């Protein structure tokens, strides 16, 4: 979070608009603009734990992380600056939540990259506010309006589920594997053998699909699930509960909040942060595994075949193997050994 994103640069073109405003920033925040923009009051709500970690260091108690915004977060704010995500259902969930809390008459600014579908913002808030496009730059659009009516928001209405064998998978907007088991995770699961034991860490757990399936055919595993997305954390908790499975689920930026060592680390790591391509999380996952694996423990990940993870695996573990491969995906396995430890 150093350079400003194109969307933030568009907001900065209108910085004079905000000097007397009490602003709530929300949505797909990708930088520290909320801490830098000159306002009468700045608060931020994000569902992304890694973004909150940075913003909270700069903004203290004015930075909030969680699935939903609360009245306390929105209190005293008269302006919303919302950064449009790439997922339309996620945008609807967040905007309905925020607009239900903001007072009628509040100013709304919605900004996002054109390729993210920000044009649909006018349709999403129709009935609550009328938006007009006030700027177009850096391949982004900026829309402005005033809140005319508060929507009714019920987070429970956004829950969905689907069946996967005899499992029930609980999901929310913006969660990976929301609508079904993705091909990459399915390939990773195909490499796991029944009756596995030990402590398992599932990083980037999404809806909890990998852990739930693993626990089904290896009931003696002890599960820990983490994700940066608050919706994913809640969905994984619900998935485990729905299937009477046990496991610890919490927010963590890769290993930031993880304690102890594990016998197996599994992941279908993301290679996007919002609309931006980023390999940082996956590389941190691989390099940091050495500090969180027991001797003889293994890292097993699935990734798009074109991503350059083989070198990082060899630099960290000394070697790796490809357990399964399709035209799109590879499943990598690397074992933490005394030889690998000696090279570090």
DSSP 77-121: --EEEEE--S-HHHHHHHHHHHHTTSPTT-EEEEEEEGGGTGGGH
pTM (whole model) above 0.85 = yes
Q: What is the pLDDT of residues 148-199, one digit of tens each?
A: 999 999 999 999 999 999 999 999 999 987 778 889 999 999 999 888 999 9
Radius of gyration of the chain from Cα atoms?
21
| Residues lower than pLDDT 70 in the chain | 1-2, 271-278, 344
CA-to-CA distance for 21 and 298, rounded, in angstroms? 52
Residue 227: name the closest of 1, 32, 47, 29 by CA: 47
* Whole-number pLDDT of residue 1: 46
Residues 6+ apart with CB under 8 A from 272: 278
pLDDT score, position 318: 94
Q: Do the Cβ atoms of 137 and 12 come closer than 8 Å? A: no
């Amino acid at each position: 979070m150093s350079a400003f994103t194109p969307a933030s640069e568009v907001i900065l073109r209108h910085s004079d608009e905000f000097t007397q405003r009490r602003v709530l920033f929300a949505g797909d925040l990708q930088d520290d603009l909320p801490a830098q923009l000159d306002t009468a009051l700045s608060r931020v709500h994000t569902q992304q734990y890694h973004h909150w970690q940075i913003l909270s260091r700069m903004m203290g108690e004015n930075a909030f992380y969680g699935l939903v915004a609360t009245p306390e977060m929105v209190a005293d704010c008269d302006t919303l600056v919302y950064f449009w995500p790439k997922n339309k259902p996620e945008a609807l969930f967040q905007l309905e939540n925020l607009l239900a809390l903001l007072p009628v008459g509040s100013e709304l600014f919605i900004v996002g990259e054109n390729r993210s579908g920000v044009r649909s913002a006018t349709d999403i808030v129709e009935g609550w506010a009328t938006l007009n496009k006030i700027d177009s730059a850096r391949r982004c659009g900026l829309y402005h309006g005033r809140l005319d009516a508060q929507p009714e928001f019920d987070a429970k209405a956004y829950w969905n589920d689907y069946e996967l064998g005899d499992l029930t998978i609980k999901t929310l907007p913006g969660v990976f594997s929301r609508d079904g088991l993705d091909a990459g995770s399915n390939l990773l699961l195909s490499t796991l053998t029944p009756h596995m034991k030990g402590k398992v860490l599932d990083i980037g757990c999404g809806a909890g699909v990998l852990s739930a399936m693993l626990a089904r055919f290896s009931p003696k595993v002890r599960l820990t699930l983490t994700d940066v997305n608050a919706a994913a954390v809640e969905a994984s908790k619900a998935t485990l509960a729905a299937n009477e499975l046990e496991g610890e689920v919490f927010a963590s930026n890769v290993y930031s909040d993880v304690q102890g060592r594990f016998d197996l680390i599994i992941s279908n790591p993301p290679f996007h942060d919002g609309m931006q391509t980023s390999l940082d999380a996956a590389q941190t996952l691989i390099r940091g595994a050495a500090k969180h694996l027991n001797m003889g423990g293994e890292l097993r990940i699935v990734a798009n075949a074109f991503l350059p993870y083989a070198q990082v695996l060899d630099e960290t573990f000394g070697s790796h193997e490809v357990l399964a491969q399709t035209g799109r995906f590879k499943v990598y396995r690397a074992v933490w050994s005394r030889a690998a430890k000696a090279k570090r």
